[in-house]
Amino acid sequence: MSFPANRPRRLRATPVWRKMVAETELDAADFVYPLFVVPGAGIARPVASMPGVAQLAIDRLVEEAGRAHELGVPAVILFGVPDDKDPEGSAGWADDGLVPEATRALKAALPELQVWADVCLCEYTSHGHCGLLDAAGRVDNDATLPLLARAAVAYARAGADAVAPSDMMDGRIGAIRAALDGAGFAATPIVAYAAKYASAFYGPFRDAAQSAPAFGDRKGYQMDPANAEEALREVALDLDEGADVVMVKPAGPYLDIVRRVKERFGVPVAAYQVSGEYSLIQAAAERGWVDERRVALESLLGIKRAGADLILTYFAPRAAAWLKEGA
Ligand code: PBG
């Protein structure tokens, strides 16, 4: 009778062994916390489809960001949700818009916290598309670029530590890089949403940011979930145009893309665990079907193991607290 000589279970036998041989470790220092800014003061309006997430007026946003920073979260990414929208999304590129104002307030109160500004028009346009529309109602790529560039410069001028274009127009990284350089912000990094898919997982975000398209969908500019090679081409283009970090979004259903981008390019990769991924976990946890903490941490660990250096997640402060307590 022969027994197995190779017994992987030997190194699984105790918590100490397991920790010593763990290949991947989650770290709050890799988290970026998405926040929604609304006009006014004292407002914290819960987003119904995202339990635990609220639209915040600037004073409350500074508190929430401070709480996250205290727990070890190094960065936030801001989305503006203005009351007034127009076809050009002018609230998105105004120097006194919500994101610049929030950025100034955050940098004044929490100078060590990194503030990233999402760059897109969909939260600011009356039609909810990510770019300007032409006469036929199609998103006009080239007419949109100067507005995105203008938004990025306004955010950099307000003190943003990085700008993160999420619009998926062709050529926007190059346009934004040139505009930033021309305005004296050559040192401001661009985090490019390089492989952003036309995903049903963005549903709850569109409640939070009030940015659902008024007609049609985003399939004409965001990527087809069927494609992986195309994601690599998108990443190559964005790097060529000057992206410093490339993002894959959503994260969980696209871990193969995260891995391939990391292996192919070896650059810093961010993955966005989007609203739908978050809300699915919350909904099941509320029913007692899964353990929120364990499922959230496992989902984040999976994203890290796939190759993400940075993770944008609505769990950021909670996950940071759980990691502190010891998982
Ligand atoms: C804006 C933008 C979206 C998200 C981030 N930036 C929504 C969209 O493209 O419709 C989604 C984030 C999330 O679902 O958490 N273009």
- Characterize the bridge pairing of strands 54-56 and 31-37: parallel
Instruction: Report the residue among 49, 205, 248, 313 best suited for mutation to probe ligand 1: largest number of ligand atoms under 8 A from its CB.
Output: 205
- Average pLDDT score, the chain: 96
188 in contact with ligand 1, CB cutoff 6 A:
no
User: 208: CA distance to ligand 1 center in Å?
Assistant: 10
| 174-203: pLDDT as tens digits | 999 999 999 999 999 999 999 999 999 999
Nearest to 237 by CA among 307, 191, 172: 172
Does 18 have pLDDT greater than 60?
yes
Q: In the CATH scheme, what is the code of domain 25-247?
A: 3.20.20.70
Distance CA 286, CA 77 (A): 26
pLDDT at residue 2, rounded to an integer: 79
> For 143, what's the count of Cα atoms within 13 Å in the CB-facing half-sphere?
12
CB within 8 Å of 106: residues ≥ 6 apart: 61, 62, 65, 76, 113, 115
pLDDT at residue 1, rounded to an integer: 64
| Domain chopping of the chain, boundaries | 25-247
**79 Cα distance to chain centroid:** 10
User: 202: CA distance to ligand 1 center in Å?
Assistant: 6
130 in contact with ligand 1, CB cutoff 6 A:
yes
118 in contact with ligand 1, CB cutoff 6 A:
yes
| DSSP element (H, E) containing 18 | helix 15-20
Does 322 have pLDDT greater than 90?
yes
Counting runs of H as helices and runs of E as strands, what totals does the chain give? Answer: 11, 10
Does 64 have pLDDT greater than 60?
yes
Q: Which atom of ligand 1 is nearest to the CA of 204?
A: 14
pLDDT at residue 327, rounded to an integer: 53
Of 23-27, 161-165, 207-211, 231-235, the range with the lowest mean pLDDT is: 207-211
List phi, psi (to 5°) of 19.
Answer: -70, -40
**102 Cα distance to chain centroid:** 17
Nearest to 275 by CA among 194, 191, 190, 209: 209
275 in contact with ligand 1, CB cutoff 6 A:
yes
Q: Which atom of ligand 1 is nearest to the CA of 276?
A: 14
Quick one: pLDDT band at residue 63, thresholds 50, 70, 90? Answer: very high
Nearest to 317 by CA among 7, 33, 9, 11: 33
- Report the nearest-CA residue for atom 6 of ligand 1: 166
Distance CA 129, CA 219 (A): 11
Residues known to be catalytic = 196, 249
DSSP letter for each residue of 271-282: EEE-HHHHHHHH
**146 Cα distance to chain centroid:** 22
Quick one: pLDDT band at residue 326, thresholds 50, 70, 90? Answer: confident
| 75-125: pLDDT as tens digits | 999 999 999 999 999 999 999 999 999 999 999 999 999 999 999 999 999
| 221-235: pLDDT as tens digits | 999 999 999 999 999
Q: Give start and end residues of each alpha helix (H) in 49-122.
A: 58-70, 98-109
125 in contact with ligand 1, CB cutoff 6 A:
no
Q: Is 3 exposed, middle or buried (0-12, 13-18, 19+ CB in 10 A)?
A: exposed
pLDDT at residue 211, rounded to an integer: 87
| 204-225: pLDDT as tens digits | 998 888 888 999 999 999 999 9
Does 241 have pLDDT greater than 80?
yes
Give yes or no for a contact between 180 and 193, defined as CB atoms under 8 angstroms apart.
no
> For 149, what's the count of Cα atoms within 13 Å in the CB-facing half-sphere?
20
Mean pLDDT of 270-279: 98
50 in contact with ligand 1, CB cutoff 6 A:
no
List phi, psi (to 5°) of 36.
Answer: -110, 120
DSSP letter for each residue of 292-316: HHHHHHHHHHHHHHHT-SEEEETTH
